[in-house]
Amino acid sequence: MNRLRTRHLLQGAACLALTGCGHASNIDIIGSFFPVWMLCVAIAVPLTFIVHKLLVRFDLENDVGPLALFYPCTVLLFTSLLWLIFFR
């Protein structure tokens, strides 16, 4: 009896957790549907290059910490901000 109740609770929790998967946010670009996050990443990468150029120009690149961690986090930051501003 206890196993059955646990199973039903897990199934109910899974149903509640998966309700957000019902709608995929897509955008129509020239007749093809692309996920919105791909568009946000495509915009975030050039923005990160601009940040890189500004840091090099003002000689601040050495002050930001490990670059292998800083630039991917910058791409993630821009991607999240673009998604929040334009698509949420």
- Is the pLDDT confidence value at 1 over 80? no
Q: Provide the CA 20 distance to its chain's centre, in angstroms.
A: 16
Of residues 15 and 72, more confidently modeled: 72
Whether residue 64 contacts residue 55, with contact meaning beta carbons closer than 8 Å, is answered with yes
Q: Residue 6: its pLDDT value, please? A: 83
Q: d(Cα 71, Cα 47) in Å, to the nearest integer?
A: 11
This model's pTM is above 0.95? no
Q: Cβ(78)–Cβ(43) under 8 Å? A: yes
Q: What digits encode the pLDDT tens for the residues 30-62?
A: 777 778 888 899 999 999 999 999 999 999 999
Does the structure show a pLDDT above 90 at 24? no
